[in-house]
Structure 1
């Protein structure tokens, strides 16, 4: 059944967009305020961002411990906010029955915030810690430097993040500006609210009318027009005077620029051996202005001038192509995106007024205007690619083949979800494993770009002595993509290691990426460089052993998958769980960044993982309150339950500009020592999170895979029952065990161990 939508204007001026999507398992709300950092007084940089933070500290009706963030997190949902140049967005996703509670908290905290000076003082320090991390993050600084190339006095070149010095709390004028900004912009005429879920439209409308009515009546406030927008970098494109629909038109253009199939610009670069990586993104859009950037990475010996000529030639080809032909292909892509999108993604798109759809008449006019402002050059041989097989819903014709014994089949995800995931994992004992890994990454990269365009996730990663391939999306697309990926992995055409550059991550994110290796207790092996060839790869595959799991496939798809996996390299085997270490272990990871960061992972035996999930939920609030709000260690503070390499346990993470890793660990120990009090409502909420109907499809697939690796039963109902049977004594015993000397703790940090007790 297709989605249905409804658009309303409420009596207070608020624009309400509703989407009934019967295939969804969750519901979402996205509230967009038409004011952002460029609308705040220039005297107080960061004021709009600061106000966004203050909203989440709770209000008189819903204090912090019962506010939106805690409410959504307790239900296993998602919640966040974003302050952009001319808009501020708040959004969350929860089980359908919880939409009313989330929407009430969201609207109430925005309409009636508590802006007391004490709250401001604490949150300003969080903003300052975030500013310090931002100023030390190479990726963030590269983008800031990029925006400095915008000519003139456009506000894009100014500082808007906010810090301890720009947010002058004791200044009366600042306080007046803060309250004035809220009063002027956080009213009905300035707000678009989008609700999306499996509920009927009438039910969604009732919720929208009930809670959006909390906002004061008002009119849309005209936002000041910015000065002219020009840029002086070759791959930074600035547009002026574009008609309505320009953002949708740009989306079509970016889809064509990101296409790497034969006949395209990226394919031309790849054929010349020049391409290391390419990311195309919109940076800014307002009042007929557009700013977007191509982050192009080329090998050192590439001809940069010719690469630009090829780009301009591709522009010219797109300009001369029949717009209806371009729009038809784009429409098919948008349909796949809409079907693959979560409730949260759909709600956020609807709140922008740009749903997943082909360009309408106005957007086609905008596309013509946009293309006219691009450079012209007749250069290169171009053609529109043929239809993408990964977009087909029909399964490929499969010969009858016996299903490999190494492949497990999970029925946790019903086939009618139209989402499937395949996990393949190889144990590769070869000493050349790491060198060959880079070759496989390079071989798979063009395929990964194609998959991303077709809403398929194709991921290849390595940890310890293992290589793992994950392919997820529409079942037919997964079958086709897997077959092509396996062929590329066995016979790469290029024997140079991956040329893509790793992202410059903040320390805590870099540690998270290294956590699987740390859990397995492995470190990079020192192997001498050598010439890589097909014989080395063949030998590695010959001595490898593989296992896999398929989730969400029906009988026909399993048969097609079985035919594809006849070509899977290595010898089939059965899973063996990773060994659990004993005692405390500290691992020093060399990662970029100067801030102190620490991950504490406390694995639990299978019999304690149900109570461990409940404990993790009960600890979330106290950890956030103590470490982020009271101690103000930094803005990156989290605690959760995580399954890593089949091992489940508690995971805590902190990044701080001033507290050492040893001090962070001491604070965590003290918190665990204080214990928790069992809350029957929290216990029920945690149990309900592990119902297939309440879980995102990707979460169900990942849970099935992790339990498969651990050789545990993949039984969600049994997990729910175990959580509901957990008592206070179970939590107390679990905490005592966690604080014992023999408990398995892993500290992964960007510093050496604080003392000799860690080994």
Structure 2
């Protein structure tokens, strides 16, 4: 099986730098230069890219900060946005990015701090100049830093309700006490003080030490040629001053002796689905020089066998494996999300997993390297990962594992690393009742327990092994044409329960096959979660057969997409359909055949800040109430090397199976999304208590889902966001999260005005949001011609032609569902034409012409005066009547 195509690589790009990275779109090129000052610059030319990604990565993180100043690196990251030499006003950088319709963010990691933004191509040069100014010429004003410490403290207090913070706290107990990784690094008022002169001096010293050319990497990814990108990068990045001081990192090993820790969330925190995490530390040299070997080990571990074995006992809801876990350095990490049944047999799960990992080296020897585990390309993440890799200094560990005998040495080292005795274990539980310790600062409860190493080698302790799902390969004799594209769909007529559409060949080696059918809306969330759970082993096995399985659902029903080698598509689709019928609670057939009792489904609480949880609610549609009986029609669409005759034959084989699986009469399905009704809007919705903050979100739905309404709603979000932040967070000091976001629920546009505060209550927050809209809502919607033109460029960046083949296929599939299914799922779905042009992005481009300052002002006046409003609340005490 050949690997996926790689981009054209220019001189200076080592193979290891791109190892394990997903394939870029056809025609992409990558080139690297190291400037005389020491700055690494990397240009990535992607002709189909709609926007430019700029990522600056600094090779210093929270493990490099002085041990007497915990949180200093994170504070510096925040402080850079408080003003720079050329833009001294706090928030100026954010305001400029918002005016362009762009996005920015930053993150402080162990050894790297990154700053990234996306912009329209026309703004790339100025964006690069502003980013460098922010990075190397910060103002670092004491008064501004003092205010930012309060923000960081409030952020930390809110993160005490986030399971990820407590997981990191417990993880630190597995490290040597004298290693920086064992320290607390999040930072808060207690560790940072109140912004004294000495703290500002320490900030400046940390900046002068690390934010220098030798330690900075810059990546630009966009549609411009490599030469054009270097014309921007070279002179701008050459202005970065050099003079970085040597890194003073401890050479002692981070990991303490192997241990088994049980932990839980502090009292009053929202419960989550408990996880069982197993960690095998790896050397830095192994991770740097033998990434292909480690990726092969992951592929073998995640081939469906282990997942099928664990799910046979209904013990896990999910399984994940990585060699780049958060907060550990190089390590093989295997994480199981446990069901209640799994919580009762943790010893057997451990024995089974440790045995599977111990046997990995022998399986690597006898197994050829399969298709690599590479996800579809996310260009934002691609640029970010490359910058982080460039900023990581080479390992100081001595290694001769990359010489002539390097592979065998690396293999022997990996075998030693994966011994059961080398494993560290963290088990999350619902609560602890004895021998409890607490991690300082976060007060995370944990305890140390003993677990006999010999149990992993006892066959009686392990679960009986199950084979991976078998992917039957269909031998197709002919191939599809190569002249068409995923933007054209030809109707081949009805075949059994299938409405068949075909897009011809794609000119690529892989193929896609999408299926969609009616499904009950009222149980969709539970059903889709169970469907993902029951197809875990199938998705892993399919990936090893070069097929990717994607599952989804919305108000038009449920759907699946299989993509990859055409020989395996039918088998994967068939098994995915069978799994859907098993987990569908509305079907008597599904209930009788359920592999797992519904009572064993874990209850999962959302993670992250309260504001993030609220914004996620914007993606959940309010269904209409004109419910109709479920139909049994399946919309089928294929493209690629799967030719029309093979497609017809495969559809015929699936038709009988699908008709039986969808043959039930109970349940109803709602036809489409509906905007908020006055009765619905009158009842506030409360989130389950999580943490001590108050939070509030005002949701406003658009009047319809037309392209013009979607564009105008997005313009309003961009126009209000920065001003809302300045008014509620900076001027009124109500909270550290204050944002306006645009979201869509099955294509229906929504605005969310969200505030999270550690001190202001719901009444104050609600009054502040109302006053903002009343006093500034319309004024901010009155955009001048020049401002509107910039904002429309930003919208073109968001809604333009697809950047990747995967994005084009998914957009075309959803456009076909919209066109063919329409508003009624119970009809026979007759097509209105024998062929459809599926280019939804062109519809948005045409709608841009109708967006004028007058249209935006009129739309805003009607929206703010007439649109029903939905309020979302969170209070530490839970629901209370206002």
TM over 0.5: yes
Higher mean C-alpha displacement, 21-30 vs 211-220: 21-30
Question: Alpha carbons of 1:155 and 1:171: their partners in 2 closer, same or farther (altered >3 Å)?
Answer: same
Q: TM-score with structure 1 length normalisation?
A: 0.80
Question: Which residue number corresponds to residue 443 of structure 1?
Answer: 534
Note the 1:299-338 alignment, pairs <5 A.
299-300=341-342, 303-322=345-364, 325=367, 328-329=369-370, 332-333=371-372, 336-337=374-375
Question: 1:482-502 CA distances to partner (integer Å, 9 max, x unpaired)?
Answer: 443112212466142364552
| Structure 2 residue 190 is the aligned partner of structure 1 residue 165 | yes
Contact (CA 8 Å) 2:99, 2:791: kept in 1 or not? no
Question: Which residue number corresponds to residue 40 of structure 1?
Answer: 65
Question: 1:436-485 CA distances to partner (integer Å, 9 max, x unpaired)?
Answer: 6675454334334556786846234678xx85335476595877644431
The CA distance in 2 between the partners of 1:63 and 1:417, in whole Å, is 52
Q: Is the partner of 1:32 in helix, strand or coil?
A: strand
Note the 1:458-537 alignment, pairs <5 A.
458-460=550-552, 468-471=558-561, 481-491=572-582, 494-497=595-598, 499-500=601-602, 502-506=604-608, 507-515=610-618, 517=620, 519-520=622-623
| Structure 2 residue 282 is the aligned partner of structure 1 residue 187 | no
| Structure 2 residue 379 is the aligned partner of structure 1 residue 343 | yes
- Gaps spanning 5+ residues in structure 2: where? 1-5, 10-29, 261-276, 392-400, 421-455, 482-491, 583-592, 824-837
Question: 1:107-137 CA distances to partner (integer Å, 9 max, x unpaired)?
Answer: 2210111211232133222212210111122
Question: 1:262-310 CA distances to partner (integer Å, 9 max, x unpaired)?
Answer: 3xx3333234443343333544689xx6455433344347543343333
Question: 1:621-667 CA distances to partner (integer Å, 9 max, x unpaired)?
Answer: 21222233333444443323322134223223333222333433332
Q: TM-score with structure 2 length normalisation?
A: 0.70
The CA distance in 1 between the partners of 2:88 and 2:500, in whole Å, is 47
The CA distance in 1 between the partners of 2:636 and 2:143, in whole Å, is 53
Question: Which residue number corresponds to residue 768 of structure 2?
Answer: 667
Question: Alpha carbons of 1:435 and 1:619: their partners in 2 closer, same or farther (altered >3 Å)?
Answer: closer
Q: Is the partner of 2:77 in helix, strand or coil?
A: helix
| Structure 2 residue 753 is the aligned partner of structure 1 residue 652 | yes
Question: Which residue number corresponds to residue 596 of structure 1?
Answer: 694
The CA distance in 2 between the partners of 1:154 and 1:252, in whole Å, is 28
Question: Which residue number corresponds to residue 418 of structure 2?
Answer: 374
Work out which of the residue numbers 222, 241, 255 in structure 1 matches 2:247.
222
Contact (CA 8 Å) 2:682, 2:870: kept in 1 or not? yes
Work out which of the residue numbers 535, 544, 556 in structure 1 matches 2:630.
544
Q: Is the partner of 1:115 in helix, strand or coil?
A: coil
Question: Which residue number corresponds to residue 106 of structure 1?
Answer: 131
Contact (CA 8 Å) 1:280, 1:292: kept in 2 or not? yes
The CA distance in 2 between the partners of 1:690 and 1:716, in whole Å, is 10
The CA distance in 2 between the partners of 1:626 and 1:654, in whole Å, is 11
Question: Which residue number corresponds to residue 7 of structure 2?
Answer: 2
The CA distance in 2 between the partners of 1:661 and 1:395, in whole Å, is 65
Q: Is the partner of 2:53 in helix, strand or coil?
A: strand
The CA distance in 2 between the partners of 1:119 and 1:404, in whole Å, is 68
Question: Which residue number corresponds to residue 853 of structure 2?
Answer: 728
Contact (CA 8 Å) 1:248, 1:363: kept in 2 or not? no
The CA distance in 2 between the partners of 1:724 and 1:707, in whole Å, is 24
Work out which of the residue numbers 861, 864, 867 in structure 2 matches 1:739.
864
Q: Is the partner of 2:682 in helix, strand or coil?
A: strand
Question: Alpha carbons of 1:749 and 1:446: their partners in 2 closer, same or farther (altered >3 Å)?
Answer: farther
The CA distance in 1 between the partners of 2:812 and 2:736, in whole Å, is 29
Question: Alpha carbons of 1:473 and 1:40: their partners in 2 closer, same or farther (altered >3 Å)?
Answer: farther
Question: 1:142-167 CA distances to partner (integer Å, 9 max, x unpaired)?
Answer: 33123223343222222111112322
Question: Which residue number corresponds to residue 294 of structure 1?
Answer: 334
The CA distance in 1 between the partners of 2:134 and 2:534, in whole Å, is 50
Contact (CA 8 Å) 2:493, 2:499: kept in 1 or not? no
**CA offset at residue 368 of structure 1?**
3.4
**CA offset at residue 599 of structure 1?**
3.0
Work out which of the residue numbers 683, 686, 692 in structure 2 matches 1:586.
683
Contact (CA 8 Å) 1:276, 1:501: kept in 2 or not? no
Question: 1:73-98 CA distances to partner (integer Å, 9 max, x unpaired)?
Answer: 55555532211122212223445444
